[in-house]
């Protein structure tokens, strides 16, 4: 798979409650609004391959899209509050809604990967009027994930890292950054391009890692109470995902009311935006146009 190296991004900032989120932007300002929410331990840079396809690749002109990809709370230098409680899901959702407002529209198409997927599910479930469509990547609806975590031994094994990540600072931070960040590099493997890893690592070493881990420390069981999605929803899951197993993935549709599409990708792991951006581009374009992809996956 070959991706061009051109940088599609410009930048802006979004303010909320005294915090400033750095936001990457791409595409014409009058394009269909799309908000992209990254996961851990990546930044908004993880959407670069997708942004290239959507703004300059085949089919980029139909329909044109306006992308806003924030470095979320904890990752942006101007949005790193000190308290763990400041990273509760309610705050993350409110940040995402502030970025939706920054599109200049009352609603937008929402795309989320990993933790960004959890936030996106919550925005869609609690504020459906603000979401034109949802494209969730890798992590299923929180209720499906929670049920699997309680009852499925396979998912329990895949999620064993959660307790380590929730330990008080700086324990997990020190462990992940030790030996030239060997543990973080092992998470990404060779799927995430080396140059992208180095750029994200620089940001993580500069303070973003504690903020990112605070998302885990602030996580409550109530996340599983996220309402079902009632907006047009697509869930994309790599069958080789090391962290999200089949039980939760296949139960995801039980928590969507109405239009739902499940795309399982053989041979693809957790880092879908890096490994299969073409699939995400196809699925998002279909949602923007209100149609089913021609491939019928």
**CB-hemisphere CA count at 13 Å for 196?**
21
pLDDT tens, the chain, 297 aa long:
334 457 999 999 999 999 999 999 999 999 999 999 999 999 999 999 999 999 987 778 788 999 999 999 999 999 999 999 999 999 999 999 999 999 999 999 999 999 999 999 999 999 999 999 999 999 999 999 999 999 999 999 999 999 999 999 999 999 999 999 999 999 999 999 999 999 999 999 999 999 999 999 999 988 989 999 999 999 999 999 999 999 999 999 999 999 999 999 999 999 999 999 999 999 999 999 998 876 544
User: Is residue 2 assigned to a domain?
Assistant: no
**Spatial distance between the Cα atoms of 107 and 128, rounded to a whole number of angstroms:** 9
> Which one-letter DSSP state was computed for residue 72?
-
Q: Give me the CATH number covering residue 202.
A: 3.40.50.1820
Q: How far is CA 216 from the centre of its chain?
A: 15
User: Is residue 117 assigned to a domain?
Assistant: yes
Phi, psi of 153 (to 5 degrees): -60, -35
> Which one-letter DSSP state was computed for residue 138?
S
Question: pTM for the full model?
Answer: 0.96
User: Is residue 60 assigned to a domain?
Assistant: yes
The whole domain housing 82 covers 10-289
Q: Which stretch of DSSP H or E encloses residue 70? A: strand 65-70
Identify the residue whose tokens are 């995400």. 280
User: Is residue 189 assigned to a domain?
Assistant: yes
User: Is residue 4 assigned to a domain?
Assistant: no
Q: Please count the structural domains in the chain.
A: 1
Pairing relation of β-strands 233-238 and 260-265? parallel
């Amino acid at each position: 798979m070959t991706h061009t190296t051109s940088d599609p991004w410009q930048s802006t900032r979004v303010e909320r409650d005294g915090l400033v989120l750095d936001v990457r932007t791409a595409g014409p300002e009058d394009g269909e609004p799309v908000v992209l929410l990254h996961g851990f331990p990546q930044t908004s840079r993880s959407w670069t391959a997708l942004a290239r396809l959507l703004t300059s690749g085949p089919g980029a002109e139909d329909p044109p899209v306006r992308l806003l990809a924030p470095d979320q709370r904890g990752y942006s230098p101007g949005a790193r509050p000190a308290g763990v409680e400041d990273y509760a899901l309610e705050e993350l959702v409110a940040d995402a809604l502030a970025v939706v407002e920054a599109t200049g529209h009352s609603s937008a198409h929402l795309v989320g990967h990993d933790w960004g997927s959890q936030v996106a599910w919550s925005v869609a479930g609690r504020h459906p009027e603000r979401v034109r469509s949802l494209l969730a990547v890798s992590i299923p609806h929180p209720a499906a994930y929670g049920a699997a975590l309680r009852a499925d031994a396979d998912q329990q094994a895949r999620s064993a890292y959660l307790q380590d990540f929730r330990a008080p600072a700086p324990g997990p931070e020190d462990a992940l950054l030790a030996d030239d960040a060997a543990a973080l590099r092992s998470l990404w493997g060779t799927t995430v391009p080396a140059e992208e890893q180095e750029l994200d690592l620089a940001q993580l070493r500069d303070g973003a890692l504690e903020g990112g881990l605070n998302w885990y420390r602030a996580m409550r069981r109530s996340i599983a109470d996220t309402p079902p999605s009632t907006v047009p929803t697509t869930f994309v899951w790599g069958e080789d995902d090391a962290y999200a197993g089949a039980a939760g993935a296949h139960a995801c549709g039980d928590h969507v009311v109405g239009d739902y599409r499940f795309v399982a990708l053989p041979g693809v792991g957790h880092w879908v935006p890096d490994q299969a951006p073409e699939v995400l581009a196809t699925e998002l374009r279909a949602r923007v146009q209100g149609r089913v992809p021609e491939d019928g996956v």
